[in-house]
Amino acid sequence: MIRPAQLLRLGHIIRVLLRHGVDEFVEGTRVYRPLRLLRSLLLIRPSSGRSIPRGQRVRESLQELGPIFVKFGQTLSTRRDLLPRDVADELAKLQDDVPPFASSAAREALAGFYGRPVEQVFDRFDSEPMAAASIAQCHGARLADGREVVLKILRPGVRKQIRRDLDLMYAMARLVLRLWPDYRQLRPVEVVAEYEKVILDELDLMREAAAASQLRRNFDGSELLYIPEVHWDYCRPGVLVTERIHGIPIGDIDALNARGVDMAILAARGVEIFFTQVFRHNFFHADMHPGNIFVDAGTPESPSYIAVDFGIVGSLDPRDQQYLAENFLAFFQRDYQRVARLHVNSGWVPRDTRLDEVESAFRTVCEPIFNRPLSQISFGQFLVRLFTVARRFGMEVQPQLILLQKTLLNIEGLGRELYPDLDLWKTAHPILEEWMDERVSGRAIINRLREQLPTVGESLQEFPQVIHGLLQQASEGQLEIRVRTSGIDELREENRELARRRNVAMAGAAILIAAAVLIGLDANPVWLGWAAGGTGVWLLLKARS
């Protein structure tokens, strides 16, 4: 139930939006009538600021409402293909042009984190902030050894503000379920819970430091992406200290063109970075809006990216990762039956769903996309379409995929802005196919077996106890075996075939385990382990045929 304090907050949100004249966007729709009534009840005059550009009014209303609404505006700003240009330009200012908090408050916060005045910690501290965002703001500084760094400091009171709005979001989600039970499959409470996890993680700057270090290791030596070094000795839960980087903001298209940057390569590398993070590393920067991305234009014909702000990162369950890759490949091969089967096998759609109906629905929605040039096909829009169709067949919202979808929409919008003719499929296809091939290679299978050896060993230790228990039940007459007798002849034949396949599979698995042990022990000769591995893989494939 919505508490009185939450009703007051909801009323405040509505008042702010109406006062800034944001209701202009829904004039002429059914939503406008109750808004007009609300404006009368709340004694709010029609906005006298309609002469102010509408984009500015939207931005200022979001800034006034606080961090969660600023985050929403930041996400919208990356999709210029979905917004009027004037609104997108204003929302882009939310990336790093939010009003800063006082430098005295920053100094006070730092003194609390370090237990001493900031002048005793850093050789120099710049009172003027470099950038300010919804959660934190950044200041330049210099360490005692002369290295230039950036301090990211949480805004005072930000935790309390976010907690208040999260509680309101939970209350609204529960109210939706109570008033409209049909929306249960959208899982609004779970979606809010996923967002809560993301936003609260973003408030722990030690977690962000760890994420930055992981990304830096993943791209160590890469020409695609550079991640600044974390100075761990100076990091605290409320302050992050990293190497100071220099580059051209990704949104400064004029500066990039003036330096002669190859925009086609830059856009393609952005897509490559995303798919590399999602499928090869399974650890991705999930807040890649223009305020967090810079370009190293030292070599204009081979530009690279520099990323900052790692408060939101994501990863996928291996099954979701596998099915997502297969969905992309099947979609671009127009294999809609495969797409339908993948949705059922993954559990995204109930198992009793008719495959032919799902296949037909996907074909109807997706086929028109292929009437356009491949360079104009949107991966982000494809994901939106997939999930929209799937929901018609009872698919529940997958909260773990929302972050991925948001990130893909962001990076795709960024790529289109840099190079409108960007062919995402040309860049992504080789990465996906190579990753899929690696997943089914003999080396990958053996590596997975080596990882599972400890678990297998524990199971084998318990095996005699299980057999002893079964024998004891049998001797005492307590062992029961239930058999269904429908189609007994066919069942017997099927059992014989299953037994044959099981025996072959067990032999293959045993040989694979032996191969993994031989390879792990560097047995001599070296070829013996790999030969055994090949034999094991062949037997497993034969068992499936």
DSSP letters for 141-160:
EE-TTS-EEEEEEEPTTHHH
The answer to whether 189 and 173 have CB atoms below 8 angstroms apart is yes
Segment 233-237 long-range contacts (CB within 8 Å, at least 24 positions apart):
234/121, 234/143, 234/149, 235/205, 235/206, 235/209, 236/113, 236/114, 236/205, 236/206, 237/204, 237/205, 237/206
Choosing from 23, 96, 165, 287, the catalytic residue is 287
CA dihedral 349, 352, 353, 359 (to 10 degrees): 90
Would residue 287 show up in a list of annotated catalytic residues for this protein? Answer: yes
What does the alpha-carbon distance between residue 304 and residue 347 come to, in Å, rounded to a whole number?
39
Tokens 């906005």 correspond to what residue? 47
- The closest of 205, 229, 234 to 122, measured between CA atoms, is 234
The answer to whether 542 and 504 have CB atoms below 8 angstroms apart is yes
Paired tokens of 145: 């050894």
Handedness of CA 516, 517, 519, 524 (dihedral sign): negative
What does the alpha-carbon distance between residue 363 and residue 368 come to, in Å, rounded to a whole number?
9
Paired tokens of 9: 């907050």
- Known catalytic residues are 287
